Structure 1
Amino acid sequence: MLQQTPVARVLPVWREWMERWPKPGDLAAEPSGEAVRAWGRLGYPRRALRLHAAASVIATTYGGELPDSEAGLLALPGVGGYTAAAVAAFAFGRRASVVDTNIRRVHARLVRGEALPAPALTAAERRLAESLLPDDDETSVRWNAGVMELGAIVCTARSPKCSVCPVADECAWRAAGEPPPSYVPKGQAWHGTDRQVRGAVMAVLREASRPVPRAALEAPPTAVTDAGVTAPGLARLHALAPAPEQLERCVAGLLADGLAVELPAGLALPH
């Protein structure tokens, strides 16, 4: 939930999930569509499907207990290198090289003398992070947490607080005269994109009590449609005024990703 999503947005959803599904088996017993519905508006809803799939594997293969090693975690659906390392380190106290955006930025400035890390994680960055990681488990966990926090609070992307940085005197970027980045980071476009339309369609499906006919996605919304979709969900979708081909492309993508299923009566969340 925390990947690419601020803590403030995640906390209320996480609390709801933990109250409803305190154990992996509790989540696995539900249809995957319920995980997508409960995901709400966190974004990237495929993560909800991966969490449900992981819960199923944990319940059936690992006796309901989360694996405590990087290798075991990597075997779970939807778990990549960063997530496996972060969980191994912070949940189980294992020595694992955690490399997130904040850590990459600290390494780039402190060691490499660069204003920002490369746009995508490189093998060289991975090797650098591993070489800097302390050997014993306890210290390595504290190191990961400390460097991550340094990047989040002090060595920030736009306004680094070098005057209060505890390692400012050792910073290669400062020693080099604080050269500017070699590229300008670009935020992801949102308005009018397929991502926005997909999110609006998903909101309609989450709100619906019955399958939603495709025609309901295209027709002007009424107060309450025959599909059991309340006006707000359809109103948000229609306010975007997606072209028919864009709407069709987004629906096809949701079906291909397993986030929706097509039934004789219309579209619905997976079940």
Structure 2
Amino acid sequence: MTPGTAASAVPRRPADAVDDAPPTLPELHRRVTDWFAGSARDLPWREATCSPWGILVSEVMLQQTPVVRVLPVWHEWLDRWPSPADLAAEPSGSAVRHWGRLGYPRRALRLHAAATAVVERHGGAVPATYDDLLALPGVGTYTAAAVAAFAFGRRETVVDTNIRRVHARLFAGSALPAPALTAAETQRAAALLPHDEALSVRWNAAVMELGAVVCTARAPQCSACPVLDACAWVAAGRPAPDYVPRGQAWAGTDRQVRGAIVAVLRHSDAPIPRSLLLDTPVDLTMASAGGTAAVLPGPLAALHGLQAPAEQLERALAGLLADGLAEERADGVRLPG
């Protein structure tokens, strides 16, 4: 789809609407951004005073993690490391230690690597262009576009899961977008983007928020939607999705075991003997002559309470070491220094 054909993709209103004329694309821009101005959640990374670094941190933390879990960790990070240079001056293990329970702790390592690159390549200032952002370690196309738009007011095509879902329903009449991002979706998002730079930033943020709080995957609140009468999915009778999204398994997976091992490492300033991680102790308080287990009953109990097979524990630890989320020395395993 090209910008010249975007308006023709605007769906017709439902047959029972008072006015059958489809709204123009500028009208949809106005309605959605007006709704956002009055209904958007009050989030700290949306404040005018938030630094580009704060926005970059938020975008990485929010990947596959809900806002309610991100908020306290984001505040802690920005208090502890208010600039990229502050984080880059610390060992990468500090980033993992303070990642909390956000999951996917490799994101903490990526943020640390990105902060180091910002210091080395850009004098400590988060770069403002899409290309420079994309060149940072661990920054993908979505994050580069989002930071360029929301931190620097650039006209960029931002496409996340929420935006994809709104576009699929509003313009294609589908309950859900394709399981993976397609070129056609990206082209449609680009065609729908307002030409005005400031309006494009508001549109990106507004559609993302609409998908997050109204046009949700499982229970859309259609009555609260500012473009309900223009929704192709509603006009088609809200057809069911043509596939069933599958959530990622957790219980019993290597991810769960890896997370439990990281939790033990996060709660200890001293290296943890490999045997303490991989061998289920009969008595946690007697498992180590140095008393390490006695000060870590919670994380160790949680790890061994999983009753993971020995080969899974070995595999999980090996994966953490290979990914740089842990390091092993003669005296034990610890977070990277």
What range describes the TM-score normalised by the shorter chain of this pair?
over 0.9
Instruction: Write the mapping of 1:148-227 to structure 2, written as runs, cut at 5 A.
Output: 148-217=208-277, 218-220=279-281, 222-223=284-285, 225=288, 226=290
Give the length in aligned residue pairs: 271
Instruction: Write the mapping of 1:116-135 to structure 2, written as runs, cut at 5 A.
Output: 116-135=176-195
The higher-RCO structure (CA 8 Å, 6+ apart) is 2
Q: Does 1:261 align with 2:261?
A: no
Once the two structures are TM-superposed, the CA of residue 223 in structure 1 deviates from its matched residue by 2.9
Alpha-carbon contact 2:285-2:291 (below 8 Å) kept: no
Cα 1:191/1:68, change in 2 over 3 Å: same
Q: In 2, distance between residues paired with 1:137 and 1:181?
A: 34
TM-score (norm: length of structure 2): 0.78
AA at the equivalent of 1:228: T
Q: In 1, distance between residues paired with 2:317 and 2:133?
A: 32
Q: In 2, distance between residues paired with 1:223 and 1:95?
A: 58
1-10 or 156-165: which moved more? 156-165
Alpha-carbon contact 1:211-1:268 (below 8 Å) kept: yes
Post-superposition CA distance 1:206-265 (Å, at most 9, x none): 112221111101131523743734111110001001100000110111011010111111
In structure 1, the residue matched to 2:46 is none
In structure 1, the residue matched to 2:292 is 228
Question: What is the aligned counterpart of 1:28 among 88, 98, 101?
Answer: 88
Which consecutive unaligned segments of at least 5 residues does structure 1 have? Answer: none
Cα 1:227/1:262, change in 2 over 3 Å: farther
Q: Does 1:251 align with 2:317?
A: yes
Instruction: Write the mapping of 1:20-169 to structure 2, written as runs, cut at 5 A.
Output: 20-169=80-229
Post-superposition CA distance 1:44-73 (Å, at most 9, x none): 000111111111111111011000111111
* Secondary structure of 2:284 counterpart: coil
Alpha-carbon contact 1:209-1:228 (below 8 Å) kept: no
Post-superposition CA distance 1:114-140 (Å, at most 9, x none): 010011111111111011001121010
Q: In 1, distance between residues paired with 2:312 and 2:224?
A: 49
Once the two structures are TM-superposed, the CA of residue 162 in structure 1 deviates from its matched residue by 2.3
* Secondary structure of 1:145 counterpart: helix
Which consecutive unaligned segments of at least 5 residues does structure 2 have? Answer: 1-60
TM-score (norm: length of structure 1): 0.96
* Secondary structure of 1:236 counterpart: helix
Matched-pair identity in %: 67
AA at the equivalent of 2:317: V
